[in-house]
Structure 1
Amino acid sequence: MFYEYALEPSVLSNWERVRFFLDAFGPWKGRFLANYPRRWRRMVYEGLHCGDREKKRIEERLASLDERVFSPRAGAPYDGGKSWLENAKEEHSRISFRAIVAEGGCGEHVLDAAVVDEQNELWCVHSGGLLPREAATFVAMVTLLLRASTRIVLIDPHFRADQDDKTRPLVAFCRALAGERASLEVHVSDANRSYSKCMQDAARVLPRILPGGSKVLLRCRREKRGGPRLHNRYILTDVGGVQFGDGIEVGDTGHEDRLSILDEPSHARLWEQYLGASSFDEAGTPREFVGADSS
């Protein structure tokens, strides 16, 4: 669902290439552009040899590039004595990319920038699909999004800390974020269970099952008269988001759910509803729970 690509800086040698490739990246497209090496953008600038007008156009496009299209590569080595492609192949061996896009590239995970298109299996990305309702599968689909984010919000109106099928995905997300600085919060509705009951269950269960040191902020929300329904299930982050067709919970063997990437306008509107000038009231004071489980 979310994939990371390494793009050779010299590929962006003219406006048509820039428009094609940069328009293809973004969490709303399911493609992250690896910030590899960290001076990737500078390498693109330095490699431009087109006319002044076209060069200026490309520079403006690069300058306005949304930072959310990039995925971080913490600690990625880069040897200036080797070519970018040689470095990228070595980095792929350390932590794999979905594919490396290079000028004249060929190989199992290397795509030729001149001919890459949606017909290529490694370049084609689907915006959603049916998946087994398993915590590990949920995590695998959104790990890149989570690790690119600093604030992660699970919108699940029917979340219950006393039900294992609902807490197992939460625990799995926390484990995937181990060592990351991202904050994680869960928004639940008070329509069916009171704020006090919600927090009592959370206080009894969450510290025991969350990975040691993990922090989860639980917020109990209430619909406003004339406002939107607190009904659908989402993972919203400061970078992008996904929608669950049914619920963020595990199911029996054979059960499936549809997970879909949110387009940018929908993500922006939902972020504003839940995290901006909120369209929902707080049913009570949010509480943070810290995991004590060391297993």
Structure 2
Amino acid sequence: MHREYAVDPESLRDYASLRTLFESFISSPSRLIADCPKNWHREVLHIINQLRDEGVGPNRRKGLKNHLQKLYRTNVCKNRSVDPWSRQARWLIYAEQEHEKAAFDAILSSGTPADPDHPVYPLDELFFNSPGCWHEPNQAHVKRLAPEIVAQALSMLRVSKRIILVDPYFWFTQPRWGNYRPLLVEIFKVIGDLNFNQGARKLEIHTSDRHANAEGFLRSHVLPLMPDGMLVQCKIWPKAEMHDRFILTDVGGVFLGQGLGEFELSADEEVLVGVLERETFRKELAKLQREPIESPAIES
């Protein structure tokens, strides 16, 4: 659902292209912009300051800067490690080299790629010529099975450093544990591919389960599932404060209407998975910064 795009600052040379950029990304929480090169927004800010388009006066220029600030805050993904851009070569050549190390979902540039197999699309022609993921829906009904749930969140998890599972019924007592164990198994299978193949090192579980010895259960049931070098922390909250179910990361989040657990009665049961709007994502993440009732943790 979440997709990461590299955007060529050299293609943003007039007011129309900047407007297309902002309209394409700011209103779409699932579209992320790679911070490529680092501090990519400064390249765009320089372009805005240098604009000489007729009709771009102080007020319109200020508006463009405000949009850029919002874009940087909501859509720019800063987790990718990239080499510096020397500027002796075109940005597109530089982006193609970074793509070879860790693939973007697409590269948006008006230039001609060195490799025709690279997914390069002109930003100003996306209405007619766009990557398949560009028009992906932000919601989907999927079977309530762990592989299906993780598959929906995987494009977000791959560019994330932090994984947060939020479900008031993620309990460590039977029979509920049997519904949630498969989700952890599936996440641990792909954990090394996350964070641009550097691997995620921490997973948080937020639940309202006060009926089990959480720390003891983590050691007896979760630790054997964990890959080496991993930390799992369980934060327990009052049940009255927990209602909704999410998979959150440092770059975005998805909601799961029926919860994160598998459905034990029928494999045909479906769960609605959807991308959280940016403001909703920030609010839900902020809720988790308070002090929980307890927060046991284990390391492998």
SS of aligned partner of 1:259: strand
After superposition, the C-alpha distances for 1:189-240 in whole angstroms (9 at most, x for unaligned) are 23xx6143x444333111111112211111222234xxx5x23321123432
After superposition, the C-alpha distances for 1:3-30 in whole angstroms (9 at most, x for unaligned) are 1111110232233432332343369621
What corresponds to 2:296 in structure 1? 287
Structure 1: runs of 5+ lacking an equivalent? none
Alignment check: 8 A CA contact 1:6 1:33 kept: yes
Aligned-partner residue type, residue 9 of structure 1: P
Percent identity between the two aligned chains? 25
The separation in 2 between residues aligned to 1:208 and 1:277, in whole angstroms, is 29
RMSD: 3.3
Q: Does 1:194 align with 2:211?
A: yes
The separation in 2 between residues aligned to 1:77 and 1:132, in whole angstroms, is 43
1:159 to 155, 167, 170: 170
1:83 to 78, 86, 90: 90
After superposition, the C-alpha distances for 1:122-181 in whole angstroms (9 at most, x for unaligned) are 421311112344444433433453355454321122224463441232243345444446
SS of aligned partner of 2:21: helix
What corresponds to 1:239 in structure 2? 251
Aligned-partner residue type, residue 168 of structure 1: P
Length-normalised TM-score, structure 2: 0.76
Aligned length: 279
Aligned-partner residue type, residue 265 of structure 1: E
The separation in 2 between residues aligned to 1:5 and 1:206, in whole angstroms, is 35
The separation in 1 between residues aligned to 2:253 and 2:27, in whole angstroms, is 8
What corresponds to 1:38 in structure 2? 38
Q: Does 1:146 align with 2:157?
A: yes
Structure 1 residue 116 displacement after superposition: 1.2
Q: Do the aligned partners of residues 35 and 269 (structure 1) sit closer, same or farther apart at CA in structure 2, a change above 3 Å counting?
A: closer
What corresponds to 2:64 in structure 1? 58
Alignment check: 8 A CA contact 1:160 1:167 kept: no
2:284 to 270, 285, 289: 270
Structure 2: runs of 5+ lacking an equivalent? 193-197
What corresponds to 1:259 in structure 2? 273
What corresponds to 1:183 in structure 2? 202
Aligned-partner residue type, residue 42 of structure 1: R
1:219 to 235, 247, 260: 235
* Equivalent runs, 1:119-134 vs 2, <5 Å: 120=130, 121-134=132-145
Alignment check: 8 A CA contact 2:168 2:239 kept: no
SS of aligned partner of 1:219: strand
What corresponds to 2:219 in structure 1? 203
Greater Cα shift, 14-23 or 123-132:
14-23
The separation in 2 between residues aligned to 1:122 and 1:188, in whole angstroms, is 33
Q: Do the aligned partners of residues 171 and 118 (structure 1) sit closer, same or farther apart at CA in structure 2, a change above 3 Å counting?
A: farther
Q: Do the aligned partners of residues 266 and 45 (structure 1) sit closer, same or farther apart at CA in structure 2, a change above 3 Å counting?
A: closer
SS of aligned partner of 1:114: helix
